[in-house]
Amino acid sequence: MSAVDPVTLEVIRNALSAIAEEMTGVVMRSARSPLLREAGDLSSALTDADGNLISQGRDIPMHMGVMSFTVKEFLKRIPKEQLQPGDVWFLNLPEVGGNHLPDVKAIRPIFVNDEILAFSVSLAHWADTGGAVPGSYVPFATDAWMEGLRISPLRVFTAQGTDREKLEMILSNVRSSDEREGDIMAQMAATRSADLRFQELCEEHSAEVVTNAIIALHNRAEAQMRAALKELPDGVYKGEDFLDDDGSPGCQPIAIRVTVKVSGDAATFDFSASDDAAIGPINTTPFIAGASVFYVVKALLGPDIQPNGGCYRPLTVITRPGSVLEPPLSSPVVGGNHETSQRIADAVFLALESAVPDQLTAGGPTTSGLLLFGGEREDGAWTTLYETHGGGEGARAHRDGASVIRVHMSNVMNTPAEVIEAEYPLRVETQRLREGSGGKGAHQGGEGLHREYRILTDKLSLTTMFERRVIPPYGLKGGENGAPFSVHIQKADGESFEMPGKANRWLKRNDLVIVDTCGGGGYGEAE
């Protein structure tokens, strides 16, 4: 291959990023559900012909793993010879480079001169993928099939148009099918815009130059990652952290353990010593383990490294079949995506504590703090509020932690009280900082959130999916732990009880849901 000059390389790098960014714009503008259009719970990517990530539209750390593995795993099931120009394939199987059923991927092969040169991938969180409860978060799921519709790679669009039979099959298995159809169309449109733009890029620079530039960009990211890893002292580092439970009766904390081997400009992250697969839905996939490892390495060593296939090369991630990070295919996984991914990040951070002195943040709200309220409005419509709750950030060697914030693998916003009250049968009685919840230390952990919801309807379903209730955010270097996460229910009839971290309950009018999110860990001994 001939070398691409530094200017052309930068011009093509920008253009490739612009293609993925445009995909994100297309989905957000044309998707139907608020989860995509307002919260932006979606990702877009371009990969090369072998599925190596080239560029992505928006950085959602959690989706990184998915974007880097989906096409590779897809190609293991669907060989390239079966692919045609104009195809758009949909899938959500966790084992095919995935994470959980609600994150559905659309994949399109991009042909230039009768040869596949790239794939465009649009990932979108569908507000519902069927299953036992609205919103498809089933806290009591004990197998994969209870979690909803499982889509193995399915060619829903071809050059001839929409394959209605397959589309109807999907739509008849999910709630609010009109909304889903809009989302599917938006994903398809995004992959198509990437196809057109990639063709234009190849016309402008020639397919050969573009292909060579992609190879050069992979090599460049690899070089950046190797340079960053060299900064780490060689050695073997161990770290562990624990999930509270999996929601099943009597479940004990579940260990995530990692052994990091740093040798020169490469590193291995071995999670084999983690606990066996769980009964409840906090299992996750090796792809999420990869995403979490990549996030930690990038945050600690190279925030500016462009995420693409090349930067993964020096990193080896090992998971053990049968463990919570590589469970049997029959295991439920819906919560693992945003709970276990955070715990993997915690374990890797803690392992590297001695390798990167003074660069670690104490424990924070490494949980989505998710509450799903499903209820009937005054006008009879059924609505679901999908609300995540941030907590106090951990302190660092040189600063206090921030109060009420999302950390690491996700960054989803809250819903304002004024919107909640207008749209859902709920009243927010108060929202304030949870004073005293941050761990004390030379630097103080951030404060958590205290928010109270009053139920204003006769019957409402509440699902919880959160962590750090049993095992609080850790302090570092003698700093205190943050206060743990808790959700209490105060019934209108006077009874009150604490809600488990993964559960579903029916509530009645005037019941009060009291959320106290975790505080951040302190850093250093308090004076």
Partner 1 sequence: MRWQIGIDIGGTFTDVIAMQPATGLLRTAKVSSRTDDPLAALLNALDAVDVPWTEVQDLMHGTTMVTNAIVENNLSKVALVATEGFGDTVAIGRQNRRYLYRLDLPAKADPTVHESLRFEVRERMDHKGQVLVEMSEQSVTELVEAIRTAGADSIAVSLLHSYANGSHEKQLGEQLKTITANVSLSHQVSPEAREYERTNTTVLNAGVMPMVRDYLDRLEEAKPSDSQLHLFHSAGGMASPSALRDQPLGLAMSGPAAGVTAASRVAAELKLDHALSFDMGGTTTDTCLITNGHAEIRSDRSLAEHPIRQPMVAVDAIGAGGGSIAWMDTGTLRVGPKSAGAFPGPACYGRGGTEATVSDANLVLGYLDHSQPLGGFLQLDRDAAVQALLPLANAMVISVEAVAHGILRVATANMVRALRKVTVERGVDGRHCALIAYGGAGPMHAVEVSRAFGISKIVVPASSSMFSALGCVSASMSYSRQQTVRMASGQWNTEQLSTTRDSLISQLSAPIIEAGHDDKPLTIKEVAGVRYSGQSYAVEIQNPALDDPQALGLAFREVHEQLYGFSTDEPWELATLRTTVSLPRTEHLTNADQDRDAAPAKPHSSNLCYFDGQSVMTPRYSRDELVTNQTISGPAIVEDESSTIVIIPKSTLTVDPSGHLVIDIAEDK
Q: Judged by CB under 8 A, which stretch of 99-107, 416-424, 468-476, 486-494 contacts partner 1? A: 416-424
> What is the spatial distance between Cα 437 and Cα 522, in angstroms, rounded to a whole number?
10
> What φ, ψ does residue 80 adopt, rounded to 5°?
-55, -30
The identity of residue 163, as a single letter, is D
DSSP state of 233: P
**232 part of the interface to partner 1, by CB under 8 A:** no
Give the Cα separation of 203 and 113 in Å (integer): 11
Q: Which of residues 54-73 bind partner 1 (CB under 8 A)?
A: 59, 61
Taking the least distance from each CB to partner 1, the nearer of 57 and 109 is: 57
Residue whose CB is less far from partner 1, 7 or 159: 7
**Residue 383 phi, psi (nearest 5):** -130, 150
Q: Which stretch binds partner 1 (CB under 8 A): 182-190, 263-271, 316-324, 494-502?
A: 182-190
For tokens 């959130």, the residue is: 449
Q: Which is nearer to partner 1, 304 or 527 (CB)?
A: 304
- 8 A C-beta contact, residue 302 and residue 71: no
Residue 515 to residue 368: CA distance in whole angstroms:
13
125 binds partner 1 (CB under 8 A): no
At 310, is the secondary structure helix, strand, or coil? helix
Closest CA to 45 of 58, 61, 27: 58
Under the binding rule (CB under 8 A), the answer on residue 431 touching partner 1 is yes
Which amino acid appears at position 8 of this protein? Answer: T
- Binding to partner 1 (CB under 8 A) within 433-472 occurs at 433, 449
CA distance 41 to 92: 15
Work out how close the CB of 13 gets to partner 1 at its nearest, in angstroms, rounded to a whole number.
6
Rounded distance, CA 132 to CA 13, Å?
44
Rule CB under 8 A: say whether 11 interacts with partner 1. Answer: yes
CA angle 10, 14, 20 (to 5 degrees): 145
Nearer to partner 1, 95 or 421 (CB): 421
Among 196, 236, 329, 419, binds partner 1 (CB under 8 A): 419
**Binders in 263-322 for partner 1, by CB under 8 A:** 295, 298-300, 303
Min separation Cβ 301 and partner 1, Å: 10
Name which position in 207, 255, 266, 417 contacts partner 1 (CB under 8 A): 417
CB-CB contact of 433 with 425 (8 Å): no
User: Of the ranges 42-50, 80-88, 112-120, 407-415, which one interacts with partner 1 (CB under 8 A)?
Assistant: 407-415
What DSSP character marks residue 355? T
Per-residue x/- marks for partner 1, 361-400, CB under 8 A? Answer: x-----------------x-x-x----xxx--x--x-xx-
Can residue 37 be called a binding residue for partner 1 (CB under 8 A)?
yes
Task: Work out whether 226 is an interface residue with partner 1 (CB under 8 A).
Answer: no
In the bound state with partner 1, the residue whose beta carbon lies nearer, of 57 and 148, is: 57
Return the range that interacts with partner 1 (CB under 8 A); candidates 93-101, 247-255, 275-283, 421-429. 421-429
Q: Is 191 in the site for partner 1 (CB under 8 A)?
A: no
- State yes or no: residue 15 binds partner 1 (CB under 8 A): yes
Among 423, 457, 490, 512, binds partner 1 (CB under 8 A): 423
411 C-beta neighbours (distance < 10 Å), count? 15
- CA-CA distance, 192 to 415, in Å (whole number)? 32
- The position carrying tokens 């004024």 is 418
Which residue in 122, 319, 403, 504 binds partner 1 (CB under 8 A)?
Answer: 403
Choice from 53, 347, 348, 404 touching partner 1 (CB under 8 A):
404
- Of the candidate residues 29, 164, 238, 459, the single one contacting partner 1 (CB under 8 A): 29
Q: Residue 20 and residue 64: Cα distance in Å, rounded?
A: 14
- The residues near 165 (Cβ < 8 Å, ≥ 6 apart) are none
